[in-house]
Chains A and B, each alone.
Chain A
Amino acid sequence: MISGAEIVIRCLQEEKVDCVFGYPGGSVLHIYDALFKQDQVKHVLVRHEQAAVHAADAYSRSSQRVGVALVTSGPGVTNTVTGIATAYMDSIPMVVLTGQVPTHYIGQDAFQECDTVGITRPCVKHNFLVKDVKDLAVTIKKAFHIASTGRPGPVVVDIPKDITAQMCEFEYPKSIHLRSYNPVVKGHLGQIKRAVQILQEAKRPIIYAGGGAILSDAAEKLTLLARKLNFPVTNTLMGLGSYPATDKQFVGMLGMHGTFEANNAMHYSDVILAVGARFDDRVIGNPEHFGEEKRRVIHIDIDPSSISKRVKVDVPIVGNIVDVLDELLKLMDGNFKTDPDLANWWKQIDEWRGRDSLRYKQAEYIMPQFVIEKLYEVTGGDAFITSDVGQHQMFAAQYYKFDKPRRWINSGGLGTMGVGLPYGMGVLMANPGAQVACVTGEGSIQMCIQELSTCKQYGLPIKIINLNNGMLGMVRQWQEMFYSSRYSESYVTSLPDFVKLAEAYGHVGMKIEKPEDVEPALRKAFTEHKNDLVFMDFIIDPVANVFPMVSAGKGLTEMILAEDL
């Protein structure tokens, strides 16, 4: 017999978890003691529980494994909520183990008690409170199973302290069956056949791929399919990397800050092949405007509730994307031929491309777009890029050309400022030795800045690309455009000296103020300081805006372009 705490660790070992992000406290002391007595599962001690969850989330995003976080009850749990909600919105598989007060104290307003299951319920795929040590192993097994199958998502397992002290036989179930949970895998063959037919008839097609294509590890199949069809491909913010951005069929990201060609091609298409994307408000703009064009929509998604939620779908295909794409490819045999009109469509798209909507003007200031372009060059386009939320995030998405999946790590759904640095930690724990850059702003970076200390402890050589405009830039942009430039609380004063701050934490700091210094500084950071965390404070144009832009409530083709202003 072993203790509940030891059972927890044994379960993690059985799940081949090599690393847990966490922070100790009263209710998890038994678990931390069990952790101490073994060395199979590493532990990364963060400086705030929010960061533990973000790091576990990025561990998951950047690999094909489930990230794990471990925190104590009460404040430990409430600190994780932002991280859990962030992972939930982007369907990231993750298991969060939380301590709870002993079972007989539950409901008594005990010290550091909170209703973990209640607080997290709306932002988890599922959660459990373990009430009997005999259920512990099987519950953890269920948690990993639920988190990683179907439409993935975070699962919380709340474990009262007394359960971790009780003794029990340990047996880890090999497999698990839940009668109430049977996610489909294979798509409906009849629907897939209909899809093939429609793809042959398409005159103005577009492939629109989102985060689901990444989560399902379908990038390779998607690329094969797109090449075979010779259709244009666009990605959502979450889908970047699911199709090589340097390929000529790629028309760029679409949506609020999408390219001119991507948004027009989406709007004027007659057939959309939607792959793991959900037509959300940041992507299609005003749904009425979008609905003005007649088109047929084929939608592949693991989650039936994403289909026909915002846009009526003609051919729904529920299934695991990689399997459905495989089936589609098989059905596109020798007789498959695309419509000859496709050539005209490409002509039209090239015309839109000619607008060069990502063009920007160099100025005496460093332009943020320029920094990202140089970052792309210096890293050979092969880095993991984490980002925070704001203008810098959009610049990174627009100007770093992602050729591979799981390289672009950002909070798309919830839009959580502060994720960038802990995301970098998670990426490095899952991919030791990788090049990792965190593209951030002086606003966002301060939301989890304490993690510089964690990075020092574990030697995580993240390159922080701080696009410092001294403004909550994205807020300022909206205020400029929609509030007659009334800059209410979007100006950040009393910024720290980031170079000194980095040095205080034991890292390297650089301040870059001139355009000509951008590239040499980046090269230095990625070569000479390869193994150091380098905080690169780029003092950029304070008022650069992100274009193109589809204002909220406007149609996809009603873009504001840089040159219009």
Chain B
Amino acid sequence: MRHIISILIENESGALSRVAGLFSARGYNIESLTVAPTEDPSLSRMTILTRGSDEVLEQITKQLNKLIDVVKVVDLSQAAHVERELMLIKVRATGKDREEMKRMADIFRGRIIDVTESTYVIELTGASSKLDSFIAAIDAGLILETVRTGVCGIGRGDRILKI
């Protein structure tokens, strides 16, 4: 099962390595991890996309809670939430591909944020599956480079992760 874990953690040096170290030491998998300070600069919020059975997820949450720097942990995917990922993708855009690329970017509600004679950089946001579909939809030979932020997510309505 796919799970999105949100963690509020003290914004201290080394906090990230404690979390990453825990996952590798206990053999849990990380598909993506994103972290940045919150509106309160003393706290960071980390989002981890992982897969595992319910038992494994229970252990992951308990083990994370045991880390001294971790303030709060929730499994976002257990209830209504929204999730987004950002991708920057650099593609070859010459000849007839140039027009076609622009059209595809529009269909996927992407934005072209850098233009040269032969390339575009397209910015795309959405669920990870939408970014996957975009990659699948364009000619693989035209892709020069991609970079993705990994999933970040937030609970819907009054599900709030705060201290």
Contacts and interface: CB of A to CB of B under 8 A. Distances in A.
Contact of A178 (B59, B62, B68): B68
Given A118-B17, A304-B62, A125 B68 contact: yes
B57 interface: no
A121 B18 contact: yes
Nearest to A155: B68
B69 interface: yes
A485 to B, nearest CB: 35
Interface residues of A, number: 18
B21 interface: yes
A180 B59 contact: no
A236 B145 CA distance: 57
B68 A181 contact: yes
Interface string B65-83: 1101111000000000000
Contacts of B25: 122
B69 A180 contact: yes
Nearest to A131: B13
Nearest to A127: B14
A121 B25 CA distance: 11
A305 B55 CA distance: 11
Interface in B1-34: 9-10, 13-14, 17-18, 21, 25
Nearest to A181: B68
Interface string B29-69: 00000000000000000000000000100110011011011
Contacts of A305: 59, 62-63, 65-66
Contacts of B68: 125-126, 146, 178, 180-181
Interface in A112-147: 117-118, 121-122, 125-126, 129, 146
Contacts of A179: 71, 163
Contacts of B62: 304-305
Nearest to B69: A180
A122 B21 contact: yes
Contacts of A303: 66
A125 B59 CA distance: 17
A308 interface: yes
Interface in A170-187: 178-181
Contact of B58 (A117, A125, A180, A308): A308
B69 A309 contact: no
Contacts of B58: 308
Contacts of A178: 68
Interface in A476-509: none
A146 B69 CA distance: 11
B21 A121 contact: yes
A121 B14 CA distance: 10
Contacts, number: 35
Interface in A433-480: none
A181 B68 CA distance: 6
Contacts of B71: 179-180
A309 B66 contact: no
Contacts of B18: 121
A33 to B, nearest CB: 29
A122 B20 CA distance: 11
A305 B58 CA distance: 8
A308 B55 contact: yes
Contacts of B9: 180
B120 to A, nearest CB: 40
Contacts of A126: 68
B10 A180 contact: yes
B59 A117 contact: no
A121 B65 contact: no
A309 B14 contact: no
Interface in B117-163: 163
Nearest to A150: B66
Interface of A: 117-118, 121-122, 125-126, 129, 146, 151, 178-181, 303-305, 308-309
Given A122-B21, A179-B163, 18 more contacts: A117-B14, A118-B17, A121-B14, A121-B21, A125-B68, A126-B68, A129-B13, A178-B68, A180-B9, A180-B10, A180-B68, A180-B69, A303-B66, A304-B62, A304-B65, A305-B59, A308-B55, A309-B59
28 contacts: A117-B14, A118-B17, A121-B17, A121-B18, A121-B21, A122-B21, A122-B25, A125-B68, A126-B68, A129-B13, A129-B14, A146-B68, A178-B68, A179-B163, A180-B9, A180-B10, A180-B68, A180-B70, A180-B71, A181-B68, A303-B66, A304-B62, A304-B65, A305-B59, A305-B62, A305-B65, A308-B58, A309-B59
Interface of B: 9-10, 13-14, 17-18, 21, 25, 55, 58-59, 62-63, 65-66, 68-71, 163
The 4 A-B residue pairs with the shortest CB-CB distance in the complex, in nearest-first order: A305-B62, A126-B68, A180-B71, A304-B62
